[in-house]
C-alpha cells in the first residue's frame, strides 16, 4: 500500500494550477482531501471531479490572509476525517513589477498571502501535528527564492522568507514532523497573468508559453515527498523546465 493512501491532506490555493493538480494526483493515490481557496465554485467543481473518480474530498472557502480561515480548514479535516496528516501551503500571488512602479498595495498583499498565509497555516496545524505525534508541512516556494531577478524583488523576498521559515520549522520539528519546501520554476498556470504592469505581464506570459511545464510536474514532486516512509524527510525540491536558465 502507498504511503499516500488514506492520508488526510489539506491544500490551500487548490482551485487552480499547482494546488488543483496536486489535489487530483493525491486523490488518485488514495489521499483524502480538504481543499481551500477563495473561489468556492472552483473548489466545488474540483471536489465533484475527485468524487466522480471514486475519491474523497471536502472544500472550504479559505482566505489565507485570515488566521481564522486556516484554523477552520484544519478543523474541517479533523471533523470530517478525524485527523490531518499533511498541510500543503500552496496559495500564493505573484503581482510582479519593478519597484519604481510603487505598487505598494500589491507588495503588502504578496507579504500577506505568501508569508503570513504560510505562517497562519503553521499556526493552525502545528499544535494538531504535535498532539497527533506527527504531521507533514509542504510549502510552495519558488525558484525566485534562489535566483533574484529584476521585477521580482518583493515576490522573491516573500519566497526567500518562506524558505527561511520552513528551514527554521524543520530544525525545531523534532523526530516526528516532516517539512518539505517545493520550489517550482516556470509552470503553466494562471500565475503569469497576475502582474498589473502590462509589460511585465506580457513578458511573463510569453516566457510561460515558450518554456512552461505543466502543474502536474510539481504535483508529482509533492507526491514524492509525501510518499516517503515516515522516517524519510525530503526537505527541498526544485522543479523547473529544462529550458529555464
Ligand atoms: N506558476 C509558476 O510559474 C510558479 C512558479 C513558482 C512558484 N509558484 C507558486 O506556486 C503556488 C501556486 O501557484 P500557481 O502557479 O498554481 O498559480 P495559480 O493557479 O494562480 O494558483 C494560486 C492559487 O492561490 C490561491 N490564492 C490566492 N490568494 C489567496 C488567498 N488570499 N487565500 C487563499 N488562496 C489564495 C488562488 O485561488 P483563489 O483566487 O481562488 O483564492 C489560486 O488557486 C504559488 O505559491 C506560487 O507563488 C508558481
Per-residue pLDDT tens listing for the chain (245 residues)? 589 999 999 999 999 999 999 999 999 999 999 999 999 999 999 999 999 999 999 999 999 999 999 999 999 999 999 999 999 999 999 999 999 999 999 999 999 999 999 999 999 999 999 999 999 999 999 999 999 999 999 999 999 999 999 999 999 999 999 999 999 999 999 998 999 999 999 999 999 999 999 999 999 999 999 999 999 999 999 999 999 98
Which triple of cell numbers denotes residue 200?
511585465
168 CA to centre of ligand 1 in angstroms: 23
Burial (CB count <10 Å: 0-12, 13-18, 19+), residue 174 = exposed
What pLDDT is recorded for position 106?
98
CA of 187 to the centre of ligand 1 (A): 11
Catalytic residue among 155, 184, 186, 217: 155
Rounded to an integer, what distance in angstroms lies between the CA atom of residue 237 and that of residue 145?
12
pLDDT of residue 157: 98
φ, ψ for residue 73, nearest 5 deg: -65, -45
Write down the pLDDT at residue 1.
Answer: 55
Q: What is the CATH number of domain 8-239?
A: 3.40.50.720
The candidate with the shortest Cα–Cα distance to 35, out of 69, 2, 65, 67, is 69
Is ligand 1 within 6 A of the CB of residue 65?
yes
Output the pLDDT for position 226.
Answer: 98
Nearest atom (ligand 1) to Cα of 218: 10
> In angstroms, what is the span from residue 152 Cα to ligand 1's centroid?
16
Domain ranges of the chain: 8-239
Binding site membership of 113 for ligand 1 (Cβ less than 6 Å): yes
Q: Can 224 be counted among the known catalytic residues?
A: no
The predicted pLDDT at position 142 comes to 98
The predicted structure's pLDDT at residue 110: 98
Of residues 163, 67, 154, the one with CA closest to residue 111: 154
For the whole model, what pTM was predicted?
A: 0.98
Q: Say if ligand 1 is within 6 A of residue 191 CB.
A: yes
46 Cβ inside 6 Å of ligand 1: no
Q: Which ligand 1 atom is the nearest neighbour of the CA of 43? A: 40
**CA gap 136, 145 in Å, rounded:** 21
pLDDT in tens, 85-103: 999 999 999 999 999 999 9
Number of H helices, E strands in the chain: 8, 7
Amino acid at each position: 500500500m502507498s504511503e499516500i493512501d488514506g492520508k488526510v491532506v489539506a491544500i490551500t490555493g487548490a482551485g487552480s494550477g499547482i494546488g488543483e493538480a496536486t489535489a487530483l494526483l493525491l486523490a488518485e493515490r488514495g489521499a483524502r482531501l480538504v481543499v481551500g481557496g477563495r473561489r468556492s465554485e472552483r473548489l466545488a467543481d474540483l471536489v465533484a471531479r475527485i468524487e466522480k473518480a471514486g475519491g474523497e474530498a471536502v472544500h472550504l472557502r479559505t482566505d489565507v490572509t485570515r488566521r481564522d480561515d486556516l484554523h477552520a480548514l484544519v478543523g474541517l479535516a479533523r471533523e470530517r476525517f478525524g485527523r490531518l496528516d499533511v498541510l500543503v501551503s500552496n496559495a500564493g500571488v505573484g503581482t510582479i513589477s519593478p519597484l519604481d512602479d510603487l505598487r505598494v498595495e500589491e507588495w503588502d498583499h504578496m507579504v500577506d498571502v505568501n508569508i503570513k498565509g504560510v505562517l497562519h497555516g503553521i499556526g493552525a496545524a502545528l499544535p494538531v501535528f504535535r498532539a497527533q505525534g506527527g504531521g507533514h508541512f509542504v510549502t510552495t516556494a519558488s525558484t525566485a527564492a534562489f535566483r533574484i531577478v529584476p521585477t521580482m524583488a518583493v515576490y522573491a523576498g516573500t519566497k526567500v522568507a518562506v524558505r527561511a521559515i520552513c528551514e527554521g520549522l524543520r530544525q525545531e520539528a523534532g523526530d516526528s514532523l516532516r517539512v518539505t519546501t517545493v520550489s517550482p520554476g516556470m509552470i503553466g498556470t494562471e500565475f503569469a497573468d497576475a502582474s498589473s504592469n502590462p509589460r511585465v505581464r506580457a513578458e511573463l506570459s510569453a516566457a510561460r508559453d515558450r518554456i512552461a511545464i505543466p502543474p502536474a510536474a510539481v504535483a508529482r514532486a509533492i507526491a514524492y515527498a509525501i510518499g516517503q516512509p515516515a522516517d524519510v524527510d525530503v526537505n527541498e525540491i526544485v522543479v523547473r523546465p529544462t529550458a529555464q536558465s
